[in-house]
Amino acid sequence: MKVAIIGAGNLGLAIAKGILHSNGATTMYLTKRNTKSIQEFEKYGNVTVTSDNQEAVKNSDILIFAVQPGHFTTILEQTKDLLTEKHVIISTITGFRIPRIEEIIGSDKYIIRSMPNTAISVGKSMTCICSNELGKKRIDLAKAIFNRMGHTLEIPEEQMQAATVICASGIAFWMRLIRATTQGAIQLGFDAKEAQELAMHTCNGAASLLIESGSHPEEEIDRVTTPKGCTIEGLNEMEHQGLSSSLIKGIVSSYEKISHIRKA
Ligand SMILES: NC(=O)c1ccc[n+]([C@@H]2O[C@H](COP(=O)([O-])OP(=O)(O)OC[C@H]3O[C@@H](n4cnc5c(N)ncnc54)[C@H](OP(=O)(O)O)[C@@H]3O)[C@@H](O)[C@H]2O)c1
């Protein structure tokens, strides 16, 4: 696989590391305008660091674009004449819709749109992907790339904004829940470091239980709630205070905001 990451910033480098650490590329081009900060990547023998996007496109098959939205159109314009039937274009650019990409480079290209989250830097991203009509032929390839860095789900493009809220903003929502648990643990007598350790590993364990068993959260809750016991006492108090309701309302507010931003 000959891969180019166009825009090797936070996300681009996280993707590059995920691919390199799993030996997923025969060659890799990493591009940005100021390459000094990423020069060290050339220590991987198969990596070329350059500010020349055209060189990267010419010498690669899979093009992963990870620039800021404001730079994307110009870069596509500068490279579109170099695109051939070998190229698969994977965009990570938030809010940049596939029809807009097709307008610039044509619909006769394999175009994939992806929405990873920041956990990609530790190989645990929940990444949603969709494609144009032709891109459906390469969607398994894109899934295979992102599965190296977590879990991937194919969705219709219309759900991309909702996925952004649940998966990208979702990282912040879960962080707040972990922090709140940490604060509770401190109040119960653990020091701050231990409290966070308890909170984050319990969170990790809870998610892993569901992922590995395929069970429903309520089944797992039933396993730990003794009748008249302390867990149900705590859970019901949290619900009286609006735990589920506030999470759902927060998610819907985020979605309304992202929808409003898109229309603006
Ligand atoms: N971070 C996330 O978790 C996340 C999640 C999902 C989607 N996204 C999307 O991913 C994109 C990148 O986000 P980010 O956080 O990684 O941004 P970032 O750190 O700012 O990275 C963007 C990179 O693009 C480079 N760049 C700018 N102009 C360029 C050009 N003409 N040619 C080549 N490279 C160029 C910049 O470096 P120079 O200035 O040196 O050129 C910079 O390193 C955004 O569109 C964002 O919406 C991010």
Q: What is the DSSP letter of 107?
A: S
Q: 163-263 has which CATH code?
A: 1.10.3730.10
Between the CA of 236 and the centroid of ligand 1 the distance, in Å, is 44
In the three-class reduction of DSSP (H, G, I as helix; E, B as strand; rest coil), residue 39 is classed as: helix
Between the CA of 37 and the centroid of ligand 1 the distance, in Å, is 14
Q: Are 91 and 5 in contact (CB under 8 A)?
A: no
39 pocket-lining for ligand 1 (C-beta < 6 Å): no
Report which residue type is found at 80.
K
In the three-class reduction of DSSP (H, G, I as helix; E, B as strand; rest coil), residue 91 is classed as: strand
pLDDT for position 264? 57
Q: Measure the CA–CA gap between 105 and 73, rounded to whole angstroms.
A: 10
Centroid of chain to Cα 185: 30
Q: Measure the CA–CA gap between 85 and 76, rounded to whole angstroms.
A: 16
Residue 47 CB coordination number (10 Å): 19
pLDDT for position 22? 85
Report which residue type is found at 128.
C
CATH architecture of 2-155: 3-Layer(aba) Sandwich (3.40)
Between the CA of 71 and the centroid of ligand 1 the distance, in Å, is 9
64 pocket-lining for ligand 1 (C-beta < 6 Å): no
pLDDT for position 61? 97
Q: Which residues of 97-126 are buried (b: 16+ CB within 10 A; e: fewer)?
A: bbeebbeebeeebbbbbbbbbebbbeeebb
11 pocket-lining for ligand 1 (C-beta < 6 Å): yes
Domain 2-155 identical in fold to domain 163-263: no
Atom number of ligand 1 nearest to Cα 12? 16
Q: Measure the CA–CA gap between 161 and 168, rounded to whole angstroms.
A: 10
pLDDT for position 175? 98
Is this prediction's pTM over 0.85?
yes
Q: Measure the CA–CA gap between 148 and 165, rounded to whole angstroms.
A: 23
Q: Measure the CA–CA gap between 209 and 215, rounded to whole angstroms.
A: 8
Could you list the residues known to form a binding site, using ranges: 6-11, 53, 66-69
Between the CA of 86 and the centroid of ligand 1 the distance, in Å, is 24
98 pocket-lining for ligand 1 (C-beta < 6 Å): no
Residue of 6, 11, 130, 149 to mutate, ligand 1, most atoms within 8 A of C-beta: 11
Between the CA of 96 and the centroid of ligand 1 the distance, in Å, is 13
pLDDT tens track, the chain, 264 positions: 999 999 999 999 999 998 998 888 999 999 999 999 999 999 998 999 999 999 999 999 999 999 999 999 999 999 999 999 999 999 999 989 999 999 999 999 999 999 999 999 899 999 999 999 999 999 999 999 999 999 999 999 999 999 999 999 999 999 999 999 999 999 999 999 999 999 999 999 999 999 999 999 999 999 999 999 999 999 999 999 999 999 999 999 999 999 988 665
pLDDT for position 212? 96
Of 225, 215, 220, 117, nearest to 173 by C-alpha is: 117
Residue of 6, 39, 67 to mutate, ligand 1, most atoms within 8 A of C-beta: 67
Atom number of ligand 1 nearest to Cα 10? 16
Q: Are 103 and 77 in contact (CB under 8 A)?
A: no
Q: Spell out the domain ranges in the chain.
A: 2-155, 163-263
pLDDT for position 84? 96
Ligand 1: residue whose CA is nearest its atom 15: 10
